[in-house]
Structure 1
Amino acid sequence: MGEEAARAAGLEPEVVYRPESAPTSAADTVAAAATLAGAVDLILFAGGDGTARDILDAVGTGVPVLGIPTGVKMHSAVFAVNPRAAGEIAASFSGLRDAEVMDLDEDAVREGRVSARLYGHLRVPDVPVRIQQRKTGSSSVSPDAVAGIAAELVDSLAPGELLVLGPGTTMRSIAAVLGVDVPVMGVNVLRLTDNRTAGLVASDVSADRLLALVSATPARIAVTPIGGQGFLLGRGNQQLSPDVLRAVGPDRVLVVATEAKVAALRGRPLLIDTGDDGVDREFQRYLRVVTGRRRTLLYPTS
């Protein structure tokens, strides 16, 4: 694991080659981390919540660790907010704290909710501004707030335009108000009809499929931040790629959230990490957040 990255960094690693029929697995991650635990002051690992669970199995709280976010989902509180922040933390941290290792609750997803399960704790550098918070579980969504948000979305669209809905319980509830049943995970595409309802165009689309759709038809994107973390783009909705965001245009990306979800951020900014610095800069401003019918607020991003 990591041979190409090591050589690119100018190192000459000793490599044990394995046959194609036996690719590396979670057991290899656990073994590598356990070997490092007695020899280093900080383990940095790249991945998502699954990798964080492997590191937890390997080292527990015996050695400090820090996650470099490269996975699809990162509900755990052991990851830097972006790769650059991970480097800054590794170069200058002093104190440590225990942070939660979370992963998606598959039973909750099957019930139509996005929730995370606690697996344990890891020791991480105590740099709150540069390390993300854990994802909080979904709470009940006010029907009145959802209906109001749905009405605002409809008002923003012309008949025939596409409405791209990011993942999450809030988005699934909005789709239901518009007469469409969509899965709670994944990105879904709706088309507005003449009677203020919508029809499903595509469900759980890939980034390439989504780019083809929004390049052919005018569209708006509606996204909601991850509860507790505040991530708006770049976590759990990577189908909204930089190419997709450029094709739609940043001014046609609508942020929606209940007032309770915004309040739970406690003033922390919404986070943007698409992997494209130019696209990220387009969103580094105060964004309009739709919280209900004719109810909006301005909220900062970072």
Structure 2
Amino acid sequence: MNGCETDMNVYRIGFLVNPIAGMGGRVGLKGTDGHAYKLALARGAQPESPQRALQFLNEVNAEGFQILAAPGIMGADIVFKSKHKERLAEIVGEIGAVTTADDTRRIARLMLEKGIDLLVFVGGDGTARDVLDAIDQAVPVIGVPSGVKMYSSVFAVNPRAAAGLLEAFLRGEAAIVEREVLDIDEEAFRRDELVIRLYGYLKTVFHQEMTQEGKTLFSGIHEEENKEAIARYVVENMSQDTVYVLGPGSTVKAIAKALGLEYTLLGVDVVLNGRLLYKDAWEAHLLKLLQDYGNVKVIVTPIGGQGFIFGRGNQQLSPRFLSRIDKKDIIIVSTESKIRSLECLRVDTGDPAVDQRLRGYYKVIVDYNRYLVMKVV
């Protein structure tokens, strides 16, 4: 730590990384719990969390804190690579060659015993549940998003925003509020079923523009009629010899249903000239599309309550893929009730340069031949 700082004004920040969080996303596994981790490795998945954890640390521009990090790949290795390596005050606990949720819970408890003022964790909804089990509401947390789904409202909108939340906390300007941790059944998710329940609450550093909302579900007869009208309009305006990549979500999959095709509600499907090219595609399939076909369009819908069109639940649409898709070839669809509940749309692909390129204004199809213009930030 900096020699001019004293213990009287130095915050003790716990830093804990789930090194496998998010690995299943790009390879179409929708999570990394249990057997999915080994399958992700077999499909060539690469760790996502260390890069996002490092981005978070290097975005922090503040004084007056020291870091208590989990060992090795769960924290300390990343701190040593960052510009804040001199702030590493202690490595907390021990881990083996393979890390587990038990490591997360045990180390979080140890950090609490050592008097941390705040815990920063890098992971997804499963990591948030482990942190809740370990520390409950003893100290506030900041969640750096690095999972596949991240439907809970304890996460920053991206690593840079997480850094901003930490800076606000260190300045004493942050609001501390209770936010929801949602429990997503990953086995059901991989079976194309969305099963969500409230798991509990964590104290979270909050800022309206930097903290994401929890996922909101919209249902009802009018919603279904709205989806069907959107689907009819999209199908009637599909171009011949153009590949359409259909992202997750019931609004998008109403298009596949209108075409009479099989589809995955929570995966990515690919359509060409009214026939199914891929069902439940992942990054490798999508990159091959770009080689084999000249015209590729992407259809997505924002996550209700959050507004993310990329980076939450659809990491198959990776930065490598999206960097080669023209913005005019991105089609956004949303029911009116969902889109009117959002102030803006968001992207968090994992690549800041790709995020920047995707930002701007888009027309969103909200009904048959009806649009709203929304800004992507």
Identify if the C-alpha distance between structure 1 residues 272 and 175 changes in structure 2 by more than 3 Å, giving closer, same or farther: same
2:303 equivalent among 198, 222, 226: 226
**CA shift digits 1:166-223 (9 cap, x unpaired):** 111222222111111212111111112xxxxx22111111112111113321121000
CA distance in 2, matches of 1:110, 1:44: 28
Of 68, 77, 85, the match for 1:4: 77
Give structure 2 stretches of 5+ with no counterpart.
1-73
Name the structure 1 match of 2:18: none
Match 1:257 to one of 334, 338, 343: 334
Q: Which of residues 274, 283, 298 is equivalent to 2:373?
A: 298
Q: 1:105 to 1:14 in 2, by over 3 A?
A: closer
Query: Cα–Cα, structure 1 residues 110 and 18, in superposed 2: closer, same or farther, change >3 Å?
Result: closer
Change in 2 beyond 3 A, CA 1:215/1:147: farther
Partner of 1:100: 180
2:127 paired with 1:46: no
CA gap 1:62/1:55 in 2 versus in 1, 3 angstroms: same
Determine whether 1:27 maps to 2:86: no
Partner Cα distance (2:196, 2:291) in 1: 34
Structure 1 position 212 matched with structure 2 position 288:
yes
**Could you list the runs of 4 or more consecutive aligned residues of structure 1 that deviate by over 6 angstroms after TM superposition?**
none
Letter in 2 for 1:27: D
Counterparts of residues 234-253 of structure 1 (less than 5 Å): 234-253=311-330
The equivalent residue for 1:270 is: 345
Whole-angstrom CA distance in 2 between matches of 1:110 and 1:245: 24
What is the one-letter code of the residue matched to 2:319? P
109-118 or 172-181: bigger deviation? 109-118
Determine what percentage of the aligned residue pairs are the same residue.
39
Counterparts of 1:75 and 1:289, CA distance in 2: 22
Deviation string for 1:205-262 (max 9, x for gaps)?
1112111113321121000000111111111111111221232311100000000111
Alpha-carbon distance, 1:17 to partner: 7.0
How has the CA–CA distance of structure 1 residues 136 and 16 changed in structure 2, closer, same or farther, with 3 Å as cutoff? closer
2:359 paired with 1:284: yes
Q: Partner of 1:189 in structure 2?
A: 270
Q: In the alignment, which residue of structure 2 is the partner of 1:86?
A: 162
> CA offset at residue 113 of structure 1?
5.1
- CA–CA separation in structure 2 for the residues paired with 1:88 and 1:77: 16
Cα distance in 1 for residues equivalent to 2:191 and 2:290? 30
Structure 2 counterpart of 1:2, which letter?
Answer: G
Change (3 A) 1:19 1:281: closer
- In structure 2, relative to structure 1, the CA distance for the partners of 1:284 and 1:110 (3 Å cut) is closer
SS in 2 for 1:204: strand
Matched, 1:58 2:134: yes
1:123 partner SS: strand
Q: Report the Cα distance in structure 2 between the residues aligned to 1:182 and 1:114, rounded to whole angstroms.
A: 15
Report Cα offsets for 1:75-112 as digits up to 9, x if no partner.
00000000001011101133210000013245875896
Question: Partner of 1:195 in structure 2?
Answer: none
Q: Distance in 2 between matches of 1:248 and 1:19?
A: 41
* Counterpart residue number, 1:67: 143
Moved more, 28-37 or 241-250: 241-250
1:39-69 deviation line (CA, Å, top 9, x unaligned)? 1111000000000000000011111011001
TM-score with structure 2 setting the length: 0.72
**Deviation digits for residues 118-152 of structure 1, max 9, x if unmatched?**
10000001312110000113424634322332233
Distance in 2 (CA, whole Å) between partners of 1:155 and 1:214 is 24
How much has 1:286 moved relative to structure 2? Answer: 1.6
* Bigger relative contact order (CA 8 A; separation at least 6): 2
Tell me, yes or no, if structure 1 residue 117 matches structure 2 residue 201: no
Whether contact under 8 Å (1:109, 1:184) holds in the other structure is no
For residues 271 and 249 of structure 1, the distance between their equivalents in structure 2, rounded to whole angstroms, comes to: 17
Alpha carbons 1:257, 1:289 under 8 Å: kept: yes
**Unaligned 5+ residue runs, structure 1?**
193-197
Aligned partners of 2:110, 2:94: CA distance in 1, in Å? 18
Distance 1:17 1:125, change over 3 A: closer
Aligned equivalents of 1:283, 1:73: Cα separation in 2: 20
Change (3 A) 1:50 1:110: closer
Please state how far the C-alpha of 1:35 moved relative to its aligned partner.
1.1
What residue is the counterpart of 1:158 in the other structure? Answer: 239
